[in-house]
Copies of this chain bind each other. A is one copy, B any other.
Amino acid sequence: MKINSNYLNLKDNYLFADVAKKSSEFVKKNPAAKLINLGIGDVTLPLCTAVVDSMQQAVLEMGQKETFKGYGPYQGYDFLRSAVKNYYASRNVDISLDEIFVSDGAKSDVANILDIFSKDNSVLVPDPVYPVYVDTNVMAGREIQYLNANEENDFLPLPNRSIHEDIIYLCSPNNPTGAVYNYDQLKQWVDYALENDAIILFDAAYEAFISDEDLPRSIFEIEGAKKCAIEFCSLSKTAGFTGVRCGYTIVPAELNFEGNSINKLWFRRQSTKFNGVSYIVQKGAAAVFSSDGMNQVKESINYYKENAKLIAKVLTERKIYFIGGKNSPYIWLKCPNRMTSWAFFDFLLKEANIVGTPGSGFGYNGEGFFRLSSFGERSDILNAANKLKNVI
C-alpha cells in the first residue's frame, strides 16, 4: 500500500507552538509577570441566549419519539437554509435554497471543495495567508503561485492580467491582515476570473465584522460573481460557533465549468462523503438569524470591535502603520524600528508582557509585521493598550 506522497511535501507550521513555548519560558523566568494574550484566534464570549434556547429545545425534541430526527437532508434543513437565504436577501443578494450547503464549518468546505477540481489547475494564493489554502493544495499535488500582499498594495493585491490562473483564493475581511476589499477591487477580481475561466474561492468567514456600509460582505454583491465564485461562510466568528461547528457554502446554480454544474458536483461530493450537520447544531444556527439572535450576536461582535478600536487608537497615536481592526477582529501592524516579527514578539513579551502573533508565520510577506487579536477580555485589552502606549 502506497501513501499519498504529496503529504511528504507539507511543511510543518510551528507558529503557534513556538509562541506557546516562548511564552511559557518567559513566565518560568518571570513568575510575577501576568501575560496578556492578544494572540488568540478564538472567540471568548459565550453563545447568545437565542442560540442556547433553540438548542435546548432541539435536544428535548431528539429525546421524544414524536419529534426525534434521524438523517437530515444532505444540504441541511430547509429552516436553516431559508434563514441563510433571508440573510442574503437583507443585503439584496438573491440566493436560492439549492445553492446553500450547510457545513460543519468553513474550514472543511474550503478544504474539501478541491475534491471536485482537477489536479491540473493552477492555483493563486495570497501571501500572507491562512495556511489551509496552501496545505490542501500541496496535499493534492498542485503547484501554488503566491499573490503578494504588502504595504504597497495595503495588503489588498489586485489581479495581474498578464498571468493566467485557474483557482483563486480571496479572503475578505482577511485573516491574518484584517484588510477588506471594496466593491471596485472585488469587481476587478470577478472580471479577471470571468476573462480567465477561473474560479474564485471566496472566504467570507469574517463578514459579520464589516460595519462600513460601502464595503461588500458577500462576493455575490458583485455583478458576474455567480458565474465564477463560491462563497464560504461560518458562524464561528459571527456567533461564537468555533466549538459548535456550523457554516454554510454558497455554490451558485449558474456556476459551470467544462459544461458541468459545480453545484451538482459539490452535491455529489457532499452526499457521498458527508452526512450533514447535527440537527441540534442546525437549530442553534437558525436561531442566529432570528431577530433576537441577530441583535445578540451583534452585541458580541461590537464588543470585540470596541476592543480592536482601543488597540488601534494607540497605534494611530504612535504613528505605527497598521490595517484591519475596523471591519475585522484582527489588527495587522508594521513592527516599529524595522524589527523582525519575532524580534517584536520578544520585545512585546519582555517590555509589555503582551503575547501576539508574528506575521512571518503567515508567509513571506508577513515578515516585519505582527497580528494582534481583539478576542479578549475588555480589562485585558485596556491594560494591553496602556502598556503598548508606553513601550512603542
Residue A68, interface by CB 8 Å: yes
Q: Which A residues, 113 to 172, have Cβ-Cβ distances below 8 Å to chain B?
A: 115-121, 132, 135-136, 139, 166-167
Assuming the contacts A55-B59, A56-B56, A111-B272, asked whether A1 and B243 have C-beta atoms less than 8 A apart, the reply is no
Chain B positions within 8 Å of A278 at CB level: 104, 243-245, 278, 280-281
Assuming the contacts A257-B3, A272-B136, asked whether A71 and B242 have C-beta atoms less than 8 A apart, the reply is yes
Kindly report how many copies of this chain are found in the complex they form together: 2
Q: Mark A260-275, 1 if CB is under 8 A from B, else 0.
A: 1010010011001111
Chain B positions within 8 Å of A197 at CB level: 1
Residue of A2, A197, A268 contacting most chain B CB atoms (<10 Å):
A2
Q: Which of A38-46, A179-187, A363-371 contacts B (4 or more CB under 8 A)?
A: A38-46
| Complex Cα–Cα for A265 and B1 (A) | 14
Chain B positions within 8 Å of A166 at CB level: 1-2
| Complex Cα–Cα for A173 and B375 (A) | 48
Residue A60, interface by CB 8 Å: yes
- Cross-chain contact B242 with A70 (CB below 8 angstroms): yes
- Cross-chain contact B276 with A118 (CB below 8 angstroms): no
Chain B positions within 8 Å of A115 at CB level: 4, 139
Closest residue on chain B to residue A110 by CB atoms: B273
Chain B positions within 8 Å of A42 at CB level: 70-71
Q: Which A residues, 58 to 100, have Cβ-Cβ distances below 8 Å to chain B?
A: 59-60, 62-65, 67-72
Q: Which of B1, B60, B262 contacts A167 (CB 8 A)?
A: B1
Residue of A55, A64, A277 contacting most chain B CB atoms (<10 Å):
A55
Assuming the contacts A45-B65, A275-B105, asked whether A4 and B280 have C-beta atoms less than 8 A apart, the reply is no
Assuming the contacts A47-B68, A243-B62, A272-B132, asked whether A3 and B52 have C-beta atoms less than 8 A apart, the reply is no
- Cross-chain contact A2 with B46 (CB below 8 angstroms): no
- Cross-chain contact B139 with A7 (CB below 8 angstroms): no
Chain B positions within 8 Å of A136 at CB level: 272-273
Chain B positions within 8 Å of A198 at CB level: 1
Chain B positions within 8 Å of A56 at CB level: 56, 59-60
Chain B positions within 8 Å of A343 at CB level: none
Top 8 A-B pairs, shortest CB-CB distance: A111-B273, A52-B63, A2-B118, A42-B70, A46-B68, A69-B243, A70-B242, A1-B166
Besides A46-B62, A46-B64, 9 more A-B contacts (Cβ < 8 Å) are A1-B167, A3-B260, A7-B260, A52-B60, A55-B62, A70-B243, A111-B274, A139-B269, A243-B279
24 residue pairs bridging A and B, Cβ less than 8 Å apart: A2-B121, A2-B257, A3-B257, A3-B260, A4-B117, A4-B119, A42-B71, A43-B70, A45-B68, A51-B63, A52-B59, A52-B63, A55-B62, A56-B56, A62-B243, A68-B240, A71-B243, A104-B278, A111-B273, A132-B273, A139-B272, A243-B279, A244-B278, A278-B278
